[in-house]
């Protein structure tokens, strides 16, 4: 396959582990193809696990032991204090042994092992220190090192009621940086994931749901996000060439479908009543070809209020089997759209950051690690430009 | 895993420190049944003996691990008591620094005389402790403010820590004197020490003796009085040292156990795993928006667990409400009527993220946060509960309610200083001048002014009452 999946920070690694549990150890998969679409011929997963403190990955030692190359696990100690600047710039005087250099080495090695390198998928959160800061830096370095490869990030936004006092600063700085270097940003929201988790608990329908209703709420939230990702990115028949071997280019086709403009790359996987630039619907379990004949596509078009300048606003892929369900007749529809409701979130982040900057709060912690007020201003300008772009249509 | 070093200075500091090590051994023995040196232990203990795997693990078998600690006292009584008690084999002489005559409850003697005389030795012992650590993240300093050694030499050690190890976080637990303190010069000592804390510490956890007494009395009343159905589960009370190494309970043990539990809970997420890990450097970075305003009000719940085992969800919500109740705070203050700058909730035990979020949503409306930090919550979830409880919560609030405590201190100081009472004891010490006093007072006044400035923004938050309209 062509993707290297990189998970950075506490959230990124917890989410990533749920993703691998979903995708790599599903017993329902047929034995004749590769065990997992995201692994290489020797059975090792195409993954790089990066964290600045080891506790999250210890929990999963059993699971990752035989599945990931040792060189692909990059750990440090002490954490990054929930501070973007610390994650981005690292320790004072950190030279070649630094976390960033080791992480880039691991990514390069993993990319070289691919038969065909398409790009990376980066899993991280926006509001912490490692995931947001080191994640942003990694995006920039990967863009420099592999200029023709794609970068799709899976970014998790924090709870709006307050997960960390630094969440606005960190979200602002990482969104600005990632929007510049990445090709697409799949934005997920802790609040929406939690609401979904709460509605699901106690509703046993199908193996996935039963597992979710018994696990703790964090696991449920991560499984939900992972299944949205899987719904979009696992191989689909629409994109598999007639030889039957998937190139694994779903993430890059996704970006090509849903990001028509470089100034607006933030994607949602939920429906909303704002105007959409482009929509992708992935229908799994379509063995009787009913998707084309159903009203689903028409409803999507109406519900999304697509922009007038895009002649084919809704793209769709289909696959006869639903890998994520337990029975042959289960169906799954995942929708990814690039629509302007994201400007509400961006606006909130920019406003709150402005207020905190005006009060001068926490600025000394960022200055200590090399981020000045001018960097904040630059990030606010970038985000305001994105808001304007979304608002103009 | 990162390591921390505990530096305990003075009589109070060493007594609290002794309880801390006892309870730490108890907690690790409870979690680590096999007695193998693991990563959690490495945050506070060093492995000195290779033969450490033993069955039937008890705290006494933990004696193969050496605490990362430096004990400093200018008179030998307390340290000797530790060395004769059950923890004698745990410490070795290179970790101790003692003198004979004490500081006479005089900050100047502790800070200047002993500070200069023992500077080299202190730095040496600190370096040795730091060298044993692979990745030193934090120094914990435990001392009291009202005496001579803890207050004077303790703050001197703090400035040495900043000089020698500027990158390492410094978290100070300071025991503030009550108004009815028996040391007459405690206002001088406290104000002089407070200036050092404001300048050199990364964050300070102030604790008041009176609050500790109130908590102890509340628990004792609960266990002796109270209805038969409300019996407390054995050894679950926050003041109990049962299950540890200590022998008979000494007079201040109950109060000191509370402070020891505070330190254990603060470091729990750094030592054990959980769904939302929170390291020690995150405490200062997330809760301290302005460098000088780093005084965090601690409050601990639950104080005890009832012997009746039904734990419905209501109990969990009650735990969150209690954390914001004045009875559970370790200093006397009123945070609900002052302004929150930020608040950390460190939860231990089997609590879900959804419970945490639900309680934050529930409590938010009643807690006034500063306008630019309405989402100023920092959350941490550790899966290992403390001994004797199924879950617990530590709340650290950076709140302007510490201002009255400081104003009170300033008043007591001014009463003595105006009359120049006892001043000659201080001025006789080499290196001590009037300017040291005036600088300390200026520092305290400007600190109070900064809190005032923030409080002023609170009044702007209150919307004007709608005017009555007269129908015409």
pLDDT in tens, chain A (393 residues): 688 999 999 999 999 998 888 887 654 444 444 456 677 767 778 899 999 888 888 877 777 777 888 888 998 888 888 999 999 988 766 654 588 989 999 999 999 888 888 899 999 999 989 999 999 999 999 999 999 989 999 999 999 888 899 999 999 999 999 999 999 999 998 988 888 877 766 444 444 544 445 567 888 888 888 888 887 887 777 777 777 666 667 788 888 877 777 777 777 775 333 455 666 777 666 555 556 656 677 777 777 777 777 777 778 887 777 666 554 456 677 788 887 888 889 999 999 999 999 999 999 999 999 899 999 999 999 999 999 988 876
Q: Determine the distance in angstroms separating the CA of B92 from the nearest CA of chain A, rounded to an integer.
A: 28
CB-based contact (8 Å) between A166 and chain B?
yes
Q: Determine the distance in angstroms separating the CA of A360 from the nearest CA of chain B, rounded to an integer.
A: 8
CB-based contact (8 Å) between B77 and chain A?
no
Q: Which H or E run contains A96?
A: none
B437-458 pLDDT tens trace: 999 999 999 999 999 999 888 7
CA atoms in the 13 A half-sphere facing the CB of A106: 27
> pLDDT higher for A227 or B17?
B17
Q: Which two tokens stand for residue A140?
A: 């920039």
CB-based contact (8 Å) between A293 and chain B?
no
Residues in B closer than 8 angstroms to A83, CB to CB, are 285
Strands (E), B28-125: 45-47, 65-67, 69-73, 96-98
Confidence tier at B45 by pLDDT (50, 70, 90): confident
Residue A348: what are its φ and ψ, rounded to 5°? -60, -45
Q: Report pLDDT for A68.
A: 83
Residue A223: what are its φ and ψ, rounded to 5°? -65, -40
Q: Which residue has the tokens 């006092």?
A: A165
* pLDDT beyond 80 at B208: yes
CB-based contact (8 Å) between B430 and chain A?
no
DSSP percent split of chain B into helix, strand, coil, nearest 5 = 50, 15, 35
Give me the residues of A, 7-36, that contact B with CB < 8 A.
10, 14
Q: Report pLDDT for A274.
A: 43
Q: Report pLDDT for B389.
A: 84
Instruction: Pick the range with the lowest mean pLDDT from A19-28, A39-48, B297-306, B420-429.
Output: A19-28
For residue B284, give the chain A residue with the closest CA.
A81
Confidence tier at B160 by pLDDT (50, 70, 90): very high
Q: Determine the distance in angstroms separating the CA of B60 from the nearest CA of chain A, rounded to an integer.
A: 28
Q: Report pLDDT for B119.
A: 93
Chain B interface mutation, best of A162, A217, A365, A368, highest count of B Cβ atoms under 10 Å? A162
Give me the residues of B, 254-273, that contact A with CB < 8 A.
273
CB-based contact (8 Å) between A75 and chain B?
no
The DSSP letter of residue B225 is: S
Q: Determine the distance in angstroms separating the CA of B455 from the nearest CA of chain A, rounded to an integer.
A: 13
The DSSP letter of residue A291 is: H
Question: Per the CB < 8 Å rule, is A10 touching B137?
Answer: no
Question: Per the CB < 8 Å rule, is A77 touching B135?
Answer: yes
CB-based contact (8 Å) between B373 and chain A?
yes
Chain A interface mutation, best of B375, B384, B398, B399, highest count of A Cβ atoms under 10 Å? B375
Q: Report pLDDT for B241.
A: 66
Q: Determine the distance in angstroms separating the CA of A24 from the nearest CA of chain B, rounded to an integer.
A: 22
For the ranges B15-24, B100-109, B154-163, B178-187, the maximum mean pLDDT occurs at B154-163
Q: Report pLDDT for A83.
A: 92
Nearest to B378 among A83, A86, A165 (CB): A165
Q: Report pLDDT for B135.
A: 86
Q: Report pLDDT for B305.
A: 64
Would you give the distance in Å from CA A205 to the centre of its chain?
A: 26
Interface A:B, Cβ pairs < 8 A: 117
Chain B interface mutation, best of A52, A59, A76, A78, highest count of B Cβ atoms under 10 Å? A78
Q: Report pLDDT for B294.
A: 95
Distances (CA, A) of B325 to A82, B219, B288, B393: 28, 15, 22, 13
Q: Report pLDDT for B234.
A: 57
Strands A3-8 and A119-125: parallel
Q: Report pLDDT for B463.
A: 47
CB-based contact (8 Å) between A59 and chain B?
yes
Q: Report pLDDT for A5.
A: 92
Question: Per the CB < 8 Å rule, is A356 touching B379?
Answer: no
Residues in B closer than 8 angstroms to A360, CB to CB, are 290
Question: Per the CB < 8 Å rule, is A358 touching B281?
Answer: no
């Amino acid at each position: 396959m062509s993707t290297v999946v990189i998970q950075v920070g506490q959230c990124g690694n917890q989410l990533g582990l749920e993703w691998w549990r979903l995708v790599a150890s599903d017993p329902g998969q047929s034995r004749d193809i590769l065990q997992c679409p995201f692994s290489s011929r020797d059975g090792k997963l195409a993954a790089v696990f990066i964290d600045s403190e080891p506790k999250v990955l210890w929990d999963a030692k059993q699971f990752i032991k035989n599945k990931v190359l040792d060189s692909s696990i990059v750990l440090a100690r002490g954490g990054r204090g929930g501070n973007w600047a610390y994650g981005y710039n690292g320790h004072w005087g950190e030279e070649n042994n630094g976390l960033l250099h080791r992480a880039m080495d691991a990514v390069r090695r993993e990319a070289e092992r691919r038969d065909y390198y398409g790009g990376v998928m980066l899993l991280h959160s926006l509001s912490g220190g490692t995931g947001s800061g080191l994640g942003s830096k990694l995006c920039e370095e990967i863009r420099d090192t592999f200029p023709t490869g794609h970068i799709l990030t899976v970014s998790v936004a924090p709870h709006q009621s307050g997960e960390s006092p630094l969440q606005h600063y960190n979200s602002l700085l990482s969104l600005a940086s990632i929007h510049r270097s990445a090709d697409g940003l799949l934005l997920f929201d802790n609040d929406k994931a939690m609401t979904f988790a709460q509605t699901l608990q106690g509703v046993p329908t199908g193996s996935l749901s039963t597992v979710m209703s018994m696990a703790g709420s964090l696991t449920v939230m991560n499984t939900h996000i992972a299944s949205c990702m899987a719904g979009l990115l696992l191989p689909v028949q629409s994109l598999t060439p007639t030889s039957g071997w998937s190139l694994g280019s779903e993430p890059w086709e996704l970006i090509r479908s849903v990001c028509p403009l470089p100034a607006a790359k933030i994607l949602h996987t939920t429906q909303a009543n704002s105007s959409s630039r482009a929509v992708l619907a992935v229908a799994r379990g379509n063995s009787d070809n009913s998707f084309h004949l159903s009203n689903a596509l028409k409803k999507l078009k109406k519900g999304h209020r697509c922009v007038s300048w895009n002649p084919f606003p809704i793209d769709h892929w289909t696959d006869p089997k639903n890998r994520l369900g337990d029975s042959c007749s289960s169906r799954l529809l995942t929708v990814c759209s690039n629509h302007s409701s994201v400007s509400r979130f961006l606006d909130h982040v920019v406003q709150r950051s402005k207020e905190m900057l005006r009060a001068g709060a926490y600025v000394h912690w960022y200055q200590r690690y090399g981020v000045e007020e001018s960097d904040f201003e630059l990030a606010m300008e970038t985000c305001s430009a994105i808001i304007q772009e979304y608002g103009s249509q | 895993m990162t390591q921390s070093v505990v530096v305990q200075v003075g009589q109070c500091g060493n007594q609290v420190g002794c309880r801390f090590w006892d309870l730490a051994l108890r907690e690790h023995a409870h979690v680590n049944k096999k007695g193998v040196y693991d990563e959690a232990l490495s945050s506070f203990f060093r492995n000195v003996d290779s033969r450490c795997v033993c069955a039937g693990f008890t705290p006494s078998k933990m004696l193969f691990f050496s605490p990362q600690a430096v004990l400093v006292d200018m008179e030998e009584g307390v340290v000797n008591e530790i060395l004769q008690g059950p923890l004698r084999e745990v410490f070795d002489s290179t970790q101790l620094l003692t003198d004979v005559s004490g500081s006479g409850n005089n900050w100047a003697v502790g800070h200047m005389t002993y500070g200069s005389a023992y500077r080299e030795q202190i730095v040496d012992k600190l370096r040795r402790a730091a060298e044993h650590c692979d990745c030193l993240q934090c120094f914990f300093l435990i001392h009291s403010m009202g005496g001579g050694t803890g207050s004077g030499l303790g703050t001197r050690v703090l400035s040495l820590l900043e000089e020698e190890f500027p990158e390492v976080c410094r978290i100070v637990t300071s025991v503030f004197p009550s108004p009815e303190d028996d040391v007459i010069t405690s206002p001088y000592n406290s104000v002089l020490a407070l200036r050092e804390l404001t300048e050199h510490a990364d964050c300070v956890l102030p604790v008041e003796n009176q609050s500790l007494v109130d908590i102890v009395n509340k628990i004792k009343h609960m266990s002796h009085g109270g209805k038969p159905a409300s019996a407390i589960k054995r050894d679950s009370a926050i003041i109990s040292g049962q299950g540890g190494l200590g022998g008979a309970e000494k007079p201040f043990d109950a109060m000191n156990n509370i402070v020891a539990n505070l330190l254990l809970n603060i470091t729990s997420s750094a030592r054990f795993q959980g769904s939302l890990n929170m390291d020690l450097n995150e405490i200062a970075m997330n809760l301290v928006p302005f460098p000088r305003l780093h005084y965090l009000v601690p409050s601990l719940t639950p104080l005890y667990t009832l012997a009746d085992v039904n734990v419905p969800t209501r109990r969990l919500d009650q735990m969150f409400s209690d954390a914001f109740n004045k009875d559970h705070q370790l200093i006397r203050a009123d945070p609900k009527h002052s302004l929150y700058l930020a608040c950390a909730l460190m939860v231990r035990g089997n609590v879900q993220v959804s419970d945490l979020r639900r309680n934050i949503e529930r409590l938010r409306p009643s807690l006034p946060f500063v306008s630019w930090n309405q989402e100023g919550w920092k959350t941490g979830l550790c899966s290992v509960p403390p001994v004797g409880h199924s879950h617990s919560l530590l709340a650290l609030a950076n709140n302007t309610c510490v201002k009255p405590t400081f104003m009170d201190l300033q008043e007591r100081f001014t009463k003595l200083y105006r009359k120049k009472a006892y001043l000659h004891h201080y001025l006789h010490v080499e290196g001590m001048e009037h300017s040291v006093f005036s600088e300390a007072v200026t520092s305290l006044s400007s600190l109070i002014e900064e809190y005032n400035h923030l409080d002023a923004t609170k009044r702007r938050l209150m919307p004007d009452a709608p005017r009555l309209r007269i129908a015409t």
